[in-house]
Amino acid sequence: MQHPIRQFQLAKQTLAIIKQNRRLLIFPILSNLIGIAIFAIAAVPLYKIETIAAKTNHLDSKTIIIFICILALLFPVMHFFNLLFNTALTLCVNKKLQGEEYTLLEGFKAPINFLATIFLWNSLMTTVGCAVCIVEYWSDNWPKSKIATQWLSGLTWLTATYFILPVLLFENHNCILSVKRSAKLIKKQWGNVLVSQINMRINTMGIHILSLIPALIAFLIGGKIIILIGSALTVASFIIIFAMNTMLSIILCNALYLFSNGNDLSRFYNIELLKNAFRKRATKTR
């Protein structure tokens, strides 16, 4: 089965799960809204500093440090809040796939119960994880390196940590051991693989372009109220699309995690699709 067909079929089967559990969209929607708010808050001082630099052609050392700190903290903070809501979604999705009942309240409680763990993982991911990704990109011998073989089972960081959230939530390991456990699950089930065969997000480029239409029409018509409405519709469309993509990713991640642990998911997925979820990485060209 070719990759695009597999991706489409998995997306279709996952969308059926989303259709039955639409209320879970509240988690990625809230995550996106908070992410936008954090970005907007950070953008204000960054814009002011940029304006000062443009006018005076000079910035003192204190202002430069503030500018760098805001940029350095922006991604970790946004990623942390994203993890909080993904934790809530993971708990509910995992229960659903195992045929158990869940409540939204349980989902909202999950990030609180695992707050310290999520914080530690976010710190590890945004520091060590980023560094490892850079090294493995530039090193052709990465799969044979000591870190890769001992801790990542010869996989790339992103592939090895694919199951990190369900492992952290359901197997009671610390962050380091969870990385190792996630990598071993993938290696055991799918062999000596390097990257995911499945793009866990719908190809939504066309949908994103279409979502710009309300804003474009509003700007063509003119008028503050019309432009505001058109822009609001476009932003809402983007949020919904990203929320759907997040749910697709989390559901598929949990499905593959449960499948690797021997759970029967035949009522939700074609098992052959899950068996062929990963492939070897293509040769790098730089």
Structure confidence at residue 169 (pLDDT): 93
Angle between the N-to-C axes of helices 115-124 and 61-97, in degrees from 0 to 180, rounded to the nearest 10: 120
Q: Is the pLDDT reported for residue 9 higher than 60? A: yes
Structure confidence at residue 30 (pLDDT): 93
Q: Considering the domain boundaries, does residue 219 fall inside one?
A: yes
Q: Considering the domain boundaries, does residue 40 fall inside one?
A: no
Whole-number average pLDDT of the chain = 82
Q: Considering the domain boundaries, does residue 225 fall inside one?
A: yes
User: What proportion of the chain, given as a percentage, has pLDDT over 90?
Assistant: 28
Structure confidence at residue 94 (pLDDT): 93
**More confident of the two residues 116 and 56:** 116
pLDDT in tens, 126-174: 998 888 888 888 877 777 777 788 888 888 888 889 999 999 999 988 9
> How many other CB atoms are there within 10 angstroms of residue 155's CB atom?
28
Structure confidence at residue 3 (pLDDT): 59
**More confident of the two residues 1 and 90:** 90
Range with lowest mean pLDDT among 104-113, 215-224, 260-269: 215-224
User: What does the DSSP assignment read for the chain?
Assistant: --HHHHHHHHHHHHHHHHHHTGGGGHHHHHHHHHHHHHHHHHHHHHHHHHHHHHHHS---HHHHHHHHHHHHHHHHHHHHHHHHHHHHHHHHHHHHHTT----HHHHHHHHHHTHHHHHHHHHHIIIIIHHHHHHHHH-TTGGGSHHHHHHSTT--HHHHTTTHHHHHHHS---HHHHHHHHHHHHHHHH-S--EESS-SS---HHHHHHHTHHHHHHHHH--HHHHHHHHHHHHHHHHHHHHHHHHHHHHHHHHHHHHHTT---TTTS-HHHHHT-EEPPPPP--
Structure confidence at residue 193 (pLDDT): 55
**More confident of the two residues 206 and 164:** 164
**Owning domain of residue 95:** 3-26+85-279
Q: Considering the domain boundaries, does residue 262 fall inside one?
A: yes
User: What proportion of the chain, given as a percentage, has pLDDT over 70?
Assistant: 87
Question: At 125, is the pLDDT very low, low, confident or very high (cuts 50, 70, 90)?
Answer: very high
Structure confidence at residue 201 (pLDDT): 46
Q: Considering the domain boundaries, does residue 51 fall inside one?
A: no
Q: How many domains does the chain have?
A: 1
Range with lowest mean pLDDT among 78-82, 137-141, 242-246: 137-141
Q: Considering the domain boundaries, does residue 33 fall inside one?
A: no
Q: Considering the domain boundaries, does residue 52 fall inside one?
A: no
Q: Considering the domain boundaries, does residue 71 fall inside one?
A: no
Most confident of 13-27, 58-72, 216-230: 13-27
Structure confidence at residue 2 (pLDDT): 43
Question: At 189, is the pLDDT very low, low, confident or very high (cuts 50, 70, 90)?
Answer: confident
Structure confidence at residue 134 (pLDDT): 86
Q: Is the pLDDT reported for residue 184 higher than 50? A: yes
